[in-house]
Amino acid sequence: MQNSNDGSSLNLFTPEELMKELGVSRRTLRRYELAGMIPAIHLSKRCIRFRRCDVESMLDRFTYSRRHSSVL
């Protein structure tokens, strides 16, 4: 997972960066946030960031659940 920001950003993604990284729409990213799948940092009403560690944790949980789900 590459982040175009330098180290001073504390590994934060903008919504646009994360949408591109995950290959999802803004609406899907918002659904993930509202469902509690990925926490968002609201710096202001229009300025939102996502922590790299939270994104990686969400992906790990998703990957784990897919690997351990039973197929009928």
Tens-level pLDDT at each residue, the chain (72 residues): 554 444 445 699 999 999 999 999 999 999 999 999 999 999 999 999 999 999 999 999 877 666 666 555
Question: Hey, what's the torsion of the CAs at 60, 62, 64, 67, to 10 degrees?
Answer: -140
- Architecture of the domain delimited by 11-67: Orthogonal Bundle (1.10)
**Closest of 39, 56, 42, 49 to residue 15, by C-alpha:** 49
Phi/psi for 13 (5° steps) reads -105, 140
What is the value of pTM for the model shown? 0.73
